[in-house]
């Protein structure tokens, strides 16, 4: 019976040694996993910080886009108003120019009137500038 107890005792010691070895291996494995987890945690924290910085920059861009959109809308309103006023002035000037040409024809005046030439150039320049500007919007 002593031999049997010695065998059991010997096996128990073997099991205890094996358990210690396994615990050390497990600690090493766990320590390696913990280090890996720490590395991933640091990487995620760095990414989070960078994403927050990017979010801040994107918000600034959107604020600037809103400001520029408002400025564009205000400019378009101003251009429309100028276009309306310019068209009214052009119509009135056309009436005057047509009246001058009609009177000159009735009176038989064939001399060139420099103001008519200047108005014709101004009218062409206005129409071209207005078309170019409205193409932008």
- Tell me, what's the pLDDT at 132? 92
Domains held by the chain: number: 1
- Tell me, what's the pLDDT at 23? 61
- Give the least confident one: 79-83, 97-101, 106-110, 121-125: 106-110
Distance (Å, rounded) from C-alpha 123 to C-alpha 98? Answer: 13
Average of per-residue pLDDT across 104-114 = 89
pLDDT digits (tens, 9 = 90+) for 63-100: 999 999 999 999 999 999 999 999 999 999 999 999 99
- Tell me, what's the pLDDT at 26? 54
Q: What is the DSSP letter of 108?
A: T
Q: What is the pTM of this model?
A: 0.53
**Residue of 5 and 60 predicted with greater confidence:** 60
Strands of the chain, DSSP E: none
Range of the domain at 114: 2-136
Of 123, 23, 137, which Cα lies nearest the Cα of 77?
137
Average of per-residue pLDDT across 50-56 = 93
């Amino acid at each position: 019976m002593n031999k049997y107890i010695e065998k059991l005792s010997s096996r128990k010691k073997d099991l205890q040694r094996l358990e210690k070895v396994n615990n050390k291996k497990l600690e090493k494995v766990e320590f390696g996993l913990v280090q890996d987890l720490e590395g991933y945690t640091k990487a995620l924290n760095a990414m989070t910080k960078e994403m927050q910085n990017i979010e801040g920059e994107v918000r600034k861009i959107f604020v600037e886009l809103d400001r520029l959109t408002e400025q564009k809308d205000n400019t378009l309103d101003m251009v429309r108003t100028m276009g309306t006023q310019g068209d009214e002035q052009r119509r009135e000037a056309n009436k005057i120019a047509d009246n001058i040409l009609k009177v000159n024809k009735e009176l038989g005046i064939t001399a060139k009137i420099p103001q008519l030439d200047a108005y014709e150039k101004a009218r062409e320049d206005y129409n071209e500038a207005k078309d170019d500007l409205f193409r932008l919007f």
